[in-house]
Every structure is written in structure tokens, then in C-alpha cells.
Amino acid sequence: MSNKEPIFDVAQLAHVEIYSPKVDETLWFFKDLLSLSETERDGDSVYLRAYEDFYHHSLKVTYRETPGLGHVSWRASSPQALERRVAALEASGLGKGWIDGDKGHGRAYQFTTPDGHPQEILWDVDYYEAPEALKTPLMNRPQKRPTHGVPVRRLDHVNLMCSNVTPNKTFFMEELGFRLREHIVLDGGMEAGAWLSVSPLVHEVAVMGDRTGNKGRLHHIAYWYGYPQHLSDIADILTEQGIQIEAGPGKHGVSQAMFMYVFEPGGNRVELFGDAGYLIFDPDWKPITWTQETLDKGIIWFGSPLPGEYFLYGTPDVSDVAETLVEEEAVPA
């Protein structure tokens, strides 16, 4: 522990925007199967939230010809914290400036990761207000539990593919106050992945090496179930409904997450997170380092392995390159 005190200025992952070339099918996936509800539409965009998300939306789906990441939105811990982070971001050279806001929130400061993933940070948010028919006597739940689909409970995290892990990890730590929780350090010292958080969750953001060498791609967004049975339930339904399950259910060593990866019809990878994982309350946490020697158990503790494409496919897709790489490289690492 250095003498420097930790930064507590970022509170949470507020929402994510993804691009989809097939908005209707993407909505069917999120609304009919994962039970998100639609809050609003605006132009090419649709705003969605899970039934235990408290704000106007946690997901914005916007039409584009190719899938990928629109932006990631972080909520600051206070108005003052927002100002401090904006000052730091401006000084970093990666700030882009303020926007007036969007559906569901007020002004926000835009910036990018070193790799170019669009981000924003904000304070003012609109809270979801359930209509009368959806109000529930469970007063800490913003609306009744949906009676269709296998409802995810809340947005959990985002995983960003990076041409180079280390500077992106450092950026989240230094400019935004994220703590490094776990990382993979290969022989020779190259970081292949890093998991970072501002809360006891192991990660609200992961940065993962893009073996194709591309920049700024999305690996996946993750919604949270909390209960392992719900992973089996949705796996059963997804299989019958023709949705492609890439891997899982299984358990990662890293983050101890019960995972399942699927592709929404627009082409983006979505993780469904099936338990509580473990939580980090230690304020002086020493990051867990997985090495080439220990990595196998870190990737899969038990259950379904990850296919080679897991390490190559992101959105937007660059599969010509990927196909070449699959043959050349051993996977993992």
C-alpha cells in the first residue's frame, strides 16, 4: 500500500450501448428471452433495462450495419467526484468533451480508452418508475419480476478487447480509480487480460488482449442471474430457440464466475453470469496473477472449455484475420 489514498470517484457501470444490424432480432433476444423491458425508443435506438436495474436503461441498442460497442457509461460517486474525474480525463488527453445528455440521463463527459473504446461519465440519471400494474410490494425491487423469459436481474460488466492490455488497464486505474483485481501475465511479462473494479465485484470492466491486433473492439457485455439454476434454464431455452451458445455453463477460475457465452442475433457476444462469484472487501487487495503455468485453471475451473474463437472473435468482426490466426496459434495463450 502506497501512501496514496484510493480514489472512490466512480460508483458503477451505468449502461452500455451496443450496435446491431438486426435490431428486431436483438430486441427479441433481450426482451423475450432475457426479459429486459423497453423503456423508450428514439430514432435508431431502443432503451432497455433488466427488472432489477434502477435507472431508465442499462442497455441502449442502436442500429448500425455492423455490430459493436456504442459506448460504455460510468456513474460517478458524487457531483464533485464527476468534476475531479473530468479534470483527470482532460489532462490525460483522452477526453472528448461534454454532451448535454441522452434519454435517461443528463450531461455526460465523453472520452475514450487508449484503445479507442467510447466511454462517458455522468452524475444525473433518471430513475425508472414502474407503472401501477408493475409496482410490487417488494419495495427494494423497482418493478414486478417478469412472468416471461428467464429474467436477468441487472447489468454486470463489460469486457473490452484491446490491442495492448497494459495501457488500457493503467488508464482505468489512474484516471478513474479502478482497482486491479486479477490479471494474466504471460511468460515475457505481457499482460493478456486484466479484471478491474470500483466495487467489491471482481470486475465492472475487463480488458483482454485482442490476438488479431485490432483496436477498440467489444468482447462481451454481461447480465447477471445470481442463481446457477437460471443458467441451466436459459441454456435449455436458448438451445431450443436456436440461439448459439458459444461456451458454458462452466466456471471460470478468474473471478470464480459461473459463466455462459451466447451470441445475440445482432452478432454481439453476451455473457450470462450465473452466481454471486466472490466479492472483494479487502481495501489493500493484492492482485491475483495468473501465469502461463496456472492459466488453464484460471480460464476453466470446471465445465465447458472455451473454443479458440473466444479469443479472436469480437465486434465488429474481423474474421478473415481471425481465421488465419486460428490455424497459426495455439489457444489459449
Applying the rule CB under 8 A, the residues between 223 and 252 that interact with a second copy are: 226-230, 232, 235-241, 245, 248-251
The residue with cell 470500483 is: 198
Q: How far is the CB of 93 from a second copy (least distance, A)?
A: 27
Per CB under 8 A, the list member of 297, 323, 324, 329 interacting with a second copy is: 297
* Candidate list 32, 129, 174, 329; residue touching a second copy; CB under 8 A: 32
What is the spatial distance between Cα 69 and Cα 67, in angstroms, rounded to a whole number? Answer: 7
User: Each residue of 70-98: b (16+ CB within 10 Å) or e?
Assistant: bbbbbbbbeeebbeebbebbeeeebbeee
Quote the cell numbers at residue 81: 467526484
Applying the rule CB under 8 A, the residues between 190 and 209 that interact with a second copy are 199-202
Q: For residue 213, state whether it binds a second copy (rule: CB under 8 A).
A: no
Rounded Cα distance between 30 and 47, Å, is 11
DSSP letters for 242-276:
TPPEEEEEEE-SGGG-EEEEEE-TTS-EEEEE-S-
Nearer to a second copy, 147 or 187 (CB): 147
Candidate list 65, 100, 147, 330; residue touching a second copy; CB under 8 A: 147
Nearer Cβ to a second copy (208/258): 258
Query: What is the per-residue binding string for a second copy in 245-284, x denoting contact by CB under 8 A?
Result: x--xxxx-xxxx-x----------------xx-xx-xxx-
Among the residue ranges 77-85, 97-105, 112-120, 323-331, the one whose residues contact a second copy (CB under 8 A): 77-85
Size of the site for a second copy (CB under 8 A): 77
Q: Give the count of alpha carbons within 13 A of 271, CB side only.
A: 28
Residues of span 79-118 touching a second copy by CB under 8 A: 79-81
Q: What does the per-residue mask of binding to a second copy show for 57-76, with x meaning CB under 8 A?
A: ------------------xx
Nearest Cα to 35, choosing from 46, 24, 51, 22?
51
Confirm if 142 and 128 have CB atoms less than 8 A apart. yes
In the complex with a second copy, the residue whose CB is nearer, 65 or 139, is 139
Q: Is 41 in the site for a second copy (CB under 8 A)?
A: no
Half-sphere exposure of 249 (CA within 13 A, CB side): 19
Pick left, alpha or beta for residue 188 (phi over 0 → left; psi -120 to 50 → alpha; otherwise beta).
left
By beta-carbon proximity to a second copy, the closer residue of 204 and 317 is: 204
Q: Is 301 in the site for a second copy (CB under 8 A)?
A: yes
